[in-house]
Structure 1
Amino acid sequence: MLVVDLRKAYDIVSWEFLEAVLRSLDFAEVFVGWVMECVTTASYSVSINGEMYGHFPGHRGLRQGDPMSPALFLLCIEYFSRLCRAPAASPGFAFDSICGEVGITHLAFANDLMLFSRGDLLSVGILLDCLSHLC
């Protein structure tokens, strides 16, 4: 079992993955463009002794407090959940002994993600490959 802590969940979302999710769900190109414009134009500054310095461009993640962020994050997690179902059909993937009877490869909660497989390198590697799409 691999447990992924999603406390900083919005920070891990890959912009490329988000864009691929939106396109795969057949959102209109103009809508995808608007969403990606909102997400990718974020810049950050550092406050030192009350003075703001620099503008650093972001490279991943969703903005905290943005009304769109929860919905975009849920779309990404749902799509990730679908990606995690595919390993069960992969040759060489072995289920965890407890979860194999019901075919569970993952469980997602509010701030945790649990991935299940047997502990061999191939099975764990397959699940980590799925996780790499999200992050």
Structure 2
Amino acid sequence: MLIGVIFSTSGYSNWNEITDCVLPLVSASQNQELLNPVSAEEVKASLFDMNPDKSPGLDGMTPAFYQKSWAIVGADVVATMQNLFASGELLPGFNDTNLVLIPKKKNSIVMGDLRPIALCNVLYKIVSKVLANRLKGLLDQIISPYQSAYFPGRLISDNILVSFEVLHYLKRKSQGKKGYMALKLDMSKAYDRVEWPFLEAILVTMGFHQRWINLISACVRSVQYHIVHDGQRLGPILASRGIRRGDHLSPYLFILCAEGFSTLIQRYEAN
């Protein structure tokens, strides 16, 4: 099954050329902020920040159930989150995920025309949201200005405009001994092809505390996919790579992975 191939590791493990370019930028105080005990207010804020009518995961619950029943279930939810963050481990089945294939265009024919969207359990979403909220607060201090997606105060349209101006210059340049070229790269199924050891190597090299890396790895590595198609649930599919669209953490983890590629380009540019 092609979807199983997408989530299967390539087996490549030599990241040295990339990790050698990455600097350890995360300080001890920043690690402490990431690892502070989870408060009841933090858990509640993460839950109530979710759209109440988001599609449910395998547990069949929407955020609305927990939001409307917070007075009854809130203490148990907070205790679950605090125990999870203290142990660094997810309960069995906690991270089981429905996978829905959404067409990218009309008349989708091949697998590449479909985008897999992860429908996670609400309790996992709370974990992911808390981690994402903590992580995004320090990204602007450790990520180069060349990346602009998902950053407060940065616009991805800025990079689009820069690219447009560069291409406009190349198109008009008709004189001179030196020629120029532009290379456009399309990272097909980019989220799905993130190798877990590479993500962990980037986190280690950047200076993240091992406890934080263990939390991230627990979220990434414990997933089991169940494909929902025509009203039926197929699976499970055991993944060995990839991060999920629909997971609050994924955009920020992808930014960290892309930073390795960005620093590699900067090194070659400097040379």
Moved over 6 A (4+): none
Percent of aligned pairs with the same amino acid? 38
Name the structure 2 match of 1:20.
Answer: 201
Higher strand share: 1
For these two proteins, the number of residue pairs brought into alignment is 90
Distance 1:17 1:6 in 2: 16
**How far off its partner does 1:2 sit?**
4.5
> Which runs of no fewer than 5 residues in structure 1 stay unpaired?
89-102, 106-135
For residues 226 and 255 of structure 2, the distance between their equivalents in structure 1, rounded to whole angstroms, comes to 27
Q: Which runs of 5+ in 2 are unaligned?
A: 1-181
Q: Report 1:46-125 matches (<5 A).
A: 46-86=227-267, 88=268, 103=269
Normalising by structure 2, what TM-score? 0.30
* CA deviation vs aligned residue, 1:19-73 (integer Å, no higher than 9, x gap): 0000011111011001011011111123344121221111211111111111111
Deviations 1:72-110 (A, max 9, x none): 111111122112344x3xxxxxxxxxxxxxx389xxxxx
**AA matched with 1:60:** R
SS at match of 1:45: strand
User: Which of the pair is proportionally richer in helix?
Assistant: 2
For 2:223 and 2:259, how far apart are their aligned partners in 1?
Answer: 24
SS in 2 for 1:10: coil
| Structure possessing the higher radius of gyration over alpha carbons | 2
Q: Distance in 2 between matches of 1:7 and 1:104?
A: 28
| Matching residue of 2:222 | 41
- SS for the counterpart of 1:59 is coil
RMSD: 2.2
Post-superposition shift, 1:10? 1.2
| Structure 2 Cα separation of the partners of residues 35 and 47 of structure 1 | 26
